[in-house]
Structure 1
Amino acid sequence: MQLRQSERRKAKIKIGLQGCAGSGKTYSALLLAKGLTNNDYSKVAIIDTENGSADLYAHLGNYNVLSLTPPFTPENYIKAIEICENAGMEVIIIDSISHEWDELLDFHSKLAGNSFTNWAKVTPRQKAFVDKILQAKSHIIATMRTKQDYVLNQKDGKYIPEKVGLKSVQRDGLDYEFTLVFDIDIKHFAVSSKDRTGMFMGKPEFTLNENIGKQILQWCNSGIAETANIATPAKNESINKQEQITEHEVFNQIQYCNSVSELLKLYNQYPQYQEALKVDFENRKSFIMKLTNPKNLFTNGTHK
């Protein structure tokens, strides 16, 4: 084990697209892939579990298709991803990963014995599938179907199911594993419900296209190339890294500062961006001071 300084490295993006049938998940995924490969569809592969739906958009370009047929086991998905990786695909679209979870639920329901303890036979297979996605050497775009979600609320002594929105057909919490998650509605508009890039969270709804893909690719390539051996950086190397950081990355770091001292340290660390990001530093400072001022809190601890 070796302690090292944190650094943003070049990344292979892992994107989740959630939407109901007809929302345009496959089409949106192909447009994002076009941008991620700089318009080279020959470097794109789509793992199709939707009965040939991937071929409906062949007019977009000569991308590659791998048809996956039942059973939609995690192991078959893993094999399909490996085939695409070995073929040198830069972007792998998995359309969709909901079938994998349906397959595991069906497997679990047929197991004899205690239903709770039987999950021990399911979880390792699901984990291997998720790990394969996260550790893939290619960009991954995974689509997921959504369905109406319900909760039981008590009313007049009775528990009544109430709608609480849409939920992806996959294991709970899987969306947290992705770098980016876009929710697509029936009118093909998208919003980001999970965003580690800092580029899309909180923005009004928009349509996914190749330009968004290129923007994501630029973010992926803005980091430092990973090397096999990581040594302790010399002083001049640290200065070079400081100069290489972009204004957008400093802006993202501002949003993660939770104290005025952290904010001041960041401000002094990058003097080249002090003027350009002055307003953002001030806004974050005001936000932090408001949160830490007891007068701005109710007695129950909620914000005004």
Structure 2
Amino acid sequence: MNLQKAQKQRIKLRIGLSSPSGFGKTYSALLMAYGMTQDWSKIAVIDTENGSASLYAELGEYNTLNLEAPYPPERYMEALKTCEKASIEVIIIDSISHEWNGKGGCLQIHEQLGGRFQDWARISPRHQALIDAILSSNCHVIITVRKKIDYSMDKDSNGRTKVVKLGLKDITREGLDFEMTTFFEIINDNHLVIASKDRTGLFMNKPEFVINASTGKKLIQWCDQGFGTGEEKVRLEIEACESIEELRLVYSKHNKIQDTIKPMIMAKKQLLENIQSQVISNTQIIQQSKNQENGIDNS
């Protein structure tokens, strides 16, 4: 058991986004995801909202995976694995509420088992397995959550029962927001949001704002702090190349900034070619020397 200095580890973002229907969760999630990747093809939406994610297809060529009922946790986990295997960078789960309160979701499974408190011992591990799959994913994950108006039955001073409106409540198991890197709440139909939880420190206690691509850029920049960003990261990749083939792979991978990195690529290519030529030359000199020692005429 040893003490060690705390060091920031490279992480994948877990972003929550909640609101009532019609406040723009899907659209906001897509813009944020694009800001994180700058590449629509690296975004996938696990869509439980009857194909609503495809309504914004004009934004770019992102991917969709339509998930229909029933909605047990295991189907979400299977969808996550499908996206991960396809080399997706940002997965949007739109929405996770069906896993809790949809057809075949946790609440319905509990009811089918008998609705007893002890029946949660069979359901909670399945729900937690999904949360663990999200937290351990090698992709950035954005989760949308539906909100509903929450009520309670109270008694007034005369002992009469009355319905009390408590406000909006997320339709998912309590505590999901604490697992997120940042959790946004869209507070009105003008798409204004606030951060109710924020480990990045970028959005907490700040004025309301509208999520767009720059929100995603800020989050990725926060992730990359201390690891090198932008051209610096690519420069380190180029410097690490030990062959022309590795150099070609780096160049093709960063197709969005090829014009910017081309001078670095060409300089490294020239260096590798010079090294290769020197190796060949040295090999020839050594071979000639050996031949002379053995009395072989090289002319």
The TM-score normalised by the length of structure 2 is 0.72
1:89 corresponds to which residue? Answer: 88
Deviation of 1:154 after TM superposition, in Å, equals: 3.7
Residue in 2 aligned with 1:4? 4
AA aligned to 1:88 is: S
Deviation at 1:2, TM superposition (A): 4.8
Give the C-alpha shift of residue 159 in structure 1: 4.3
Distance 2:224 2:184 in 1: 21
Query: One-letter code of the match for 2:61?
Result: N
Deviation per CA, 1:20-79, whole angstroms, max 9, x where unpaired? Answer: 110000000000000000x20111011011111111000000001111111111101001
* Structure 1 residue identity aligned to 2:138: K
> Partner residue of 2:18?
18
The residue type equivalent to 1:5 in the other structure is K
Question: Gaps (5+ residues) in structure 2?
Answer: 229-299
Name the structure where helix makes up a greater proportion of residues. Answer: 2
Structure 1 ranges of 4+ moved more than 3 A? 151-154
- Equivalent in the alignment of 2:178: 176
Q: Amino acid of the residue matched to residue 213 of structure 1? A: G
Amino acid at match of 2:8: R
CA distance in 1, matches of 2:86, 2:2: 34
Measure, in 1, the Cα distance between the counterparts of 2:210 and 2:117: 42
What CA deviation, in whole Å up to 9, does each residue of 1:82-106 have, x standing for no partner?
1111111110000000000011100
Structure with bigger gyration radius:
2
Q: How does 1:119-268 map to 2 (within 5 A)?
A: 119-156=120-157, 157-184=159-186, 185-224=188-227
Partner of 2:209: helix, strand, or coil? coil
| Counterpart residue type for residue 8 of structure 1 | K
Cα distance in 2 between the residues matched to 1:2 and 1:74? 38
Taking the aligned partners of 1:15 and 1:160, their CA distance within structure 2 comes to 37
Q: Matched residue of 1:110: which SS?
A: helix
Distance 1:29 1:15 in 2: 9
Aligned partner of residue 122 in structure 1, secondary structure: helix
Higher RCO by CA contacts (8 Å cutoff, separation 6 or greater): 1
Q: Displacement, 1:220?
A: 1.0
Whole-Å separation in 1 of the counterparts to 2:4 and 2:136? 21
1:71 aligns with 2:70: yes
Q: Contact 1:96/1:143 (CA < 8 Å) preserved in 2? A: yes
Equivalent position amino acid for 1:55 in 2? S
Instruction: Find out whether 1:104 has 2:115 as its counterpart.
Output: no
Identity %: 50
Q: TM-score, normalised by structure 1?
A: 0.71
1:117 corresponds in structure 2 to 118
**Cα offset, 1:172, TM superposition:** 1.0
